[in-house]
Amino acid sequence: MKNFIAKFINTSALSRDNSYCYQDVSVFLSDTSQLKSKEPFSLPESSKKPCIVCRNVNVFYKNKQAINDVSLDIYRREVLAIIGASGCGKSTFIRCLNRMNDTIEGCRVTGQILFDGIDIHSKDMDVVLLRARVGMVFQKPNPFPKSIYENVAYGPKIHGLAQSKRELDEIVEVSLRKAGLWDEVKDRLSHSGLSLSGGQQQRLCIARTIAVNPEVILMDEPCSALDPIATARIEELMAELSQEYAIVIVTHSLQQAARVSHRTAFFHLGSLIEIGPTEEIFTRPSKKLTEDYITGRFG
Amino acid sequence: MNRPSRIPTADIVRRSLPRRYKKERRFLIYGALSIVVCFLFLGIFFSGIFRMGWRAFFETRIKLPIYLDPELILPYNIKESDYGLVISQSLQRFFPDVTSRQEKRELSKLLGAGVEEVLKEFVIKHPEAVGSAVEIWLPAGDGINLINKGVISKERAIQAGLVTEGILQKFEQLSSDGRVSTGFNSRFFTSGDSHTPSMAGIGGAIVGSFYLMVVTFFLSFPIGVGAAIYLEECAPKSRLTDIIDININNLTAVPSIIFGLIGLAIFLNFFKLPRSSPLVGGLVLSLMTIPVIVIASKSALKSVPPSIREAALGVGASKIQTIFHHVVPLALPGMFTGAILGMARAVGETAPLLMVGMVAFVVDIPKKLMDPASALPVQIYLWSDQPDRAFNEKAAAAIIVLIFFMIAMNSAAIFLRKKYERKY
Ligand SMILES: Nc1ncnc2c1ncn2[C@@H]1O[C@H](COP(=O)(O)OP(=O)(O)O)[C@@H](O)[C@H]1O
Ligand SMILES: [Mg+2]
């Protein structure tokens, strides 16, 4: 158990050392420094280094442009919320970050996305490795039609993260604990993942994602299919996870964005209109469009 | 408010309701009617086949004392002995009043044409009985068999020359002695084809069909599923894959006899594979079945929800891992269903087998894939072509067996589908 955690801390520490600072960061650093302390989601000092840097990202479906010249950074141990009207390209953008758009026929991404200083579209970045390091939780809970144990163990298994069955058991337990699901499922690990309720399924998916110990977790409207109680549960979980991971969450609930995120990005028709500390975006947006959206004048 | 009229919506809707309900009722009646028609035809078909075929599953047997003459059955020559002579001598001993040559010859019609074989099997099984007289149940002659099972009347049988008055008298005498019985004809399932109806069976045809299925399955399933996985999951969508798709669909509509011709040209004439062999027949049926399996497998793969793929890719599974760990297991029941339906079609196929020579008269039960063999549908075709009524009865019985196999296979397909339906 200790071994396993130590190993993981080691590897993440290593990757942090290797990280590479993008020059343009200063702009955003000044932004984050303005962020007022916001318990319990205060941004720790060590997170002030971007782990994903996007510059001039454009996405096209066939010839239709869905994302228009978006540049933003994602820091370690922060929760970045992406808000915007439906169809404005939030999902499209977040799916660029782990190259999930590769699977869509006719989808083309241009511009630079640097993860740990490496362009994710370059030959130096393997897509399997990228997805192991940038995990994703989807809008609809999508557990594998296998046992709860198998769901969580699958990622570690294919990546060879566990040397033995014992180690694998540990990973599964730790992940389920982190996802706040352990106490509910520990007696029925062999039951199908589909036998769980919607909220539990989504937490199982989160456990499945963190079992691979990624550096970034992408969440695309993770609560839109859940009831308020399950939603509250997942929001709590995000606060805990942000102690370790960078989290990018797409949400159409402004309250949720305000509750869970350190920074908020507002998208409109495929363009990034404004990004900044959540408090600022919600209290003093600098753009008219943002103000209209958060005051409910459209969208 | 954009409607100018002032009539409330409720009134308009209410007015249209009777018309709508009438339409619905009419549709339901049409539907029920078509179902009735389907079942009517099915009923006519099944009852006809059954009335004709059930008798072939039974045979009339006569119990006779047979003296296993040690002078005729020599221990070192059990297999080659003249059992016909043994039987005719015993018959004479049993009916001492028969003296004339003519009557003696007719007496042999009391028993079936294959009784020598039955007796031989008995002696091989009980060699110690040689030298003693034993009571044995022997199959009755075809004429007697038909009369006893009520296929034709006595008068008609005598008119047709199947039996004579004298034989009938003897049979009735035996019957009143309790020496006649009707029993399940297991030989029908174990023996090969024969020139005499009472000895002919579908054993050889079943084995031939079984070999065909084995060859067809093991060729067409891996190839079909592999092609489907490649086309659906791996190949980049392009004009070429579209053309391939269309052509695979076209292949399923190609008349089966064309596949037989291809088999004749390629496997027999070019590769010089043995004629009439289940191997070649299976190859031909595979050609027919592969497109069916490809199409079924493709749609099975397509129906796996994309969310499962995304989930696997999202934790960092590679494309092939995603396919083989998650997509294929979910698609497998659909693939098997398609394969079973394709195989059920193949097992009932006759035309392509005719082209590769599987219509031969085959007495021996095939032991290898290269042995000449026949198949159930071909056997049906051969028997229904015979003028002899007893053979038509056999054909009907073989149809019952074939239909039974089909129902079993289709049920298996439905069972698989129900069992694994929408687990996600
Ligand atoms: N697979 C696709 N093919 C073509 N267009 C797409 C596809 N997915 C999304 N789009 C288009 O891209 C735009 C952004 O969609 P999306 O990113 O899903 O929006 P959001 O998640 O913000 O609601 C929409 O106009 C949508 O129609
Ligand atoms: Mg979306």
- DSSP characters over A198-231: HHHHHHHHHHHHHTT--SEEEEESTTTTS-HHHH
What pLDDT digit, counting tens, does each position of B188-245 carry? 898 888 888 878 889 999 999 999 999 999 999 999 999 999 999 988 888 999 999 9
Residue from the list A138, A159, A205 with its beta carbon closest to the beta carbon of B316: A159
- Residues of chain A with pLDDT > 90, as a percent, come to 66
User: Which domains are seen in chain B, by residue range?
Assistant: 61-183 (no CATH), 203-420 (1.10.3720.10)
Q: Which pLDDT belongs to residue B2? A: 59
Nearest C-alpha to atom 11 of ligand 1 is from which residue? A66
Q: Is pLDDT at A5 greater than 50 in this prediction?
A: no
Give the residue, A62 or A48, on which the prediction is more confident: A62
Chain A residues whose CB is inside 8 A of the B307 CB are: 138, 140, 142
Residue A299 has pLDDT above 60, yes or no: no
Cβ separation of B308 and A132 shorter than 8 Å?
no
Query: Looking at the partner chain, which of A103, A128, A144 has a beta carbon nearest the beta carbon of B316?
Result: A128
User: Which tens digits make up the pLDDT trace of A103-159?
Assistant: 898 899 999 999 988 999 988 889 999 999 999 999 999 999 999 999 999 999 999
Q: What is the pTM of this model?
A: 0.81
Among A59, A60, A61, name the best residue to mutate to test ligand 1's pocket (greatest count of ligand atoms within 8 A of Cβ): A61
| A-interface mutation test, from B232, B315, B420, most A Cβ less than 10 A away | B315
Q: Whose CA is nearest to atom 20 of ligand 1?
A: A87
Taking only the tens place, the pLDDT of each residue in B259-300 is 999 999 999 999 999 988 999 999 999 999 999 999 999 999
* CA A105–ligand 1 middle distance (angstroms): 13
B310: chain A residues, CB-CB within 8 Å: 100, 103, 136, 138, 142
- At residue B423, the pLDDT reads 57
**CB within 8 Å: A128 and B423:** no
Q: Which two three-digit tokens encode residue B23? A: 């339409």
Q: Phi and psi at residue B200, in whole multiples of 5°?
A: -75, 140
Residues of A in contact with B419 (CB under 8 A): none
For the CA of A267, the closest atom of ligand 1 is 22
- A38 pLDDT exceeds 60? no
pLDDT at A176 over 60: yes
Q: What stretches in chain B show pLDDT beneath 50?
A: none
Residue of A58, A83, A92 with the most ligand 1 atoms within 8 Å of its CB, for mutation? A92
Question: H or E element: which one contains A136?
Answer: strand A134-137
| pLDDT score of B1 | 52
Which residue out of A142, A175, A208, A213 would a mutagenesis test of the B interface target, given it has the greatest number of B Cβ atoms within 10 Å?
A: A142
Q: How far is the CA of A219 from the centre of ligand 1 (A)?
A: 16
Stretch A55-69: mean pLDDT: 94
Using DSSP's 3-state secondary structure scheme, residue B113 falls into coil
Find, in chain B, the residue whose alpha carbon is nearest to that of A129. Answer: B316
Pocket lined around ligand 1, Cβ cut-off 6 Å: A 61, 66, 84, 86-92, 104
Q: Give the contacts of B111 (CB within 8 A, at least 6 positions apart).
A: B62, B64, B87, B91, B138, B139, B140, B141
Q: Residue A298's pLDDT band (boundaries 50, 70, 90)?
A: low
Report CB contact under 8 Å: B315, A129: no
Q: Which residues of B touch A159 (CB under 8 A)?
A: 316
| A205:B311 CB<8 A | yes
Whether residue B214 contacts residue B282, with contact meaning beta carbons closer than 8 Å, is answered with yes
Among chain A residues, the shortest Cα distance to B325 is held by A154
Contact A246, A215 (CB under 8 A): yes
* pLDDT for A196 beyond 70: yes
- The reported pLDDT for the residue numbered B132 is 87
**Which long-range contacts does B326-329 make (Cβ < 8 Å, 24+ apart)?**
B326/A144, B327/B233, B327/B301, B328/B229, B328/B301
Residues of chain B with Cβ-Cβ distance to A154 below 8 Å are 312, 315, 317, 325
User: In 3D, which of B88, B74, B77, B173 has the Cα closest to residue B131?
Assistant: B74
Residues 6+ apart with CB under 8 A from B316: A128, A129, A131, A132, A155, A158, A159, A212
